[in-house]
Structure 1
Amino acid sequence: MAHTLRRTVVTRWDADSVFAYLLDFEHAEEWDAGTVRCERLAGDGGVGTRYRNVSKFLGRETTLDYEVEKLVPGSQFVITGGNKTVVSKDTVTVTSRGNGAEVEYRAEMTFSGVAGVISPLLTPFLTKLADDTEAQLLRTLDSKAAGA
């Protein structure tokens, strides 16, 4: 079963700065409620750049290897990650909004194996994680705006 979670935040930080910050996926440690660690493995931040992300979900750590698959400079990128039980395709779209920016974060997760069988039971936990990430993303971006 596939799960799609979408959240949108509006921040005071300008769109160019927000996009550059989010595209460097190592920053996920700061804004993603589930990320424990994230390191760049290869690449310059563009298409083909690879990251190793360690996340905590339901009290357990899991590692996903991500790769930037699509990049529309200044406005959108798609990064896909996975391991033996889940594939996550994340699309981040940043648009200017007044002096700030609007960020839409969309995660499409497909589970396999035992996780695929129980994935309907994961919906409330994934929704809470998305809500927590939305709040943390907004706090982080607005904090960066205040320091800019």
Structure 2
Amino acid sequence: MIRVERTMRVERPAEEVLRYLADFGNAPEWDPGTEACVRLDDGPVAEGASWRNTSRFRGRRTELTYRLERRAPDRLVFVGHNRTVTATDDIAVRAVDGGTVVHYRASLRFHGLAALAGPFLRGEFERLADAVADRLPRVLTDR
């Protein structure tokens, strides 16, 4: 399993940050690896909502189906899967003086033969997490 974590500060209220991040359809704006993220169901963004996420990683396009597994006032947990990987994005938000601290944790569990490549991909995922930590605060500030 690969885990990456980043902590960022943004100058927006925590409720606004959580509301924006809860809609995983916004991922192409803040996640440099995501090309598209389309909602698969209707209604309010609540636990159980799902999206088809199309990402590009190491020159290859991949699709995962993500589901919002947990939505709390200070935390979101999305779980995405396909036949090769299960990805968990765990996002915590905490109000601080004049803004919000966002703690982003991504975990990837590879399946089958892909599990053998997992350890060799850590550096790529660290770079991707760095790019998220750079882009997400800018996107939220510009909103």
Partner of 2:93: 94
User: CA offsets per residue over residues 62-102 of structure 1, 9 Å max, x none?
Assistant: 00000011111x31111100101000111111110112101
Aligned residue in 2 for 1:8: 7
TM-score (norm 1): 0.92
SS of equivalent residue, structure 2 residue 139:
helix
Matched, 1:57 2:93: no
- The aligned length equals 142
Partner of 2:136: 137
Counting only pairs closer than 5 Å after superposition, residues 68-107 of structure 1 correspond to structure 2 as 68-72=68-72, 74-107=73-106
* Identity across the alignment (%): 36
Q: Matches of residues 103-142 of structure 1 in structure 2 within 5 Å?
A: 103-142=102-141
What does the per-residue CA deviation read over 1:27-60, in whole Å, with 9 as the maximum and x for residues that have no partner?
A: 0010011110001101421111011100110011
SS of the equivalent of 1:42 reads: coil
RMSD: 0.9
- Tell me the residue number matched to 1:41: 40
Gap runs ≥5 in structure 2:
none
Distance 1:55 1:92 in 2: 19
Normalised TM-score (structure 2): 0.96
Paired residue secondary structure (2:40): strand
Gaps of 5+ in 1: none
Q: Name the CA distance, whole Å, in 2 between partners of 1:15 and 1:99.
A: 10
Moved over 2 A (4+): none
Tell whether 2:21 aligns with 1:22.
Answer: yes
Letter in 1 for 2:67: E
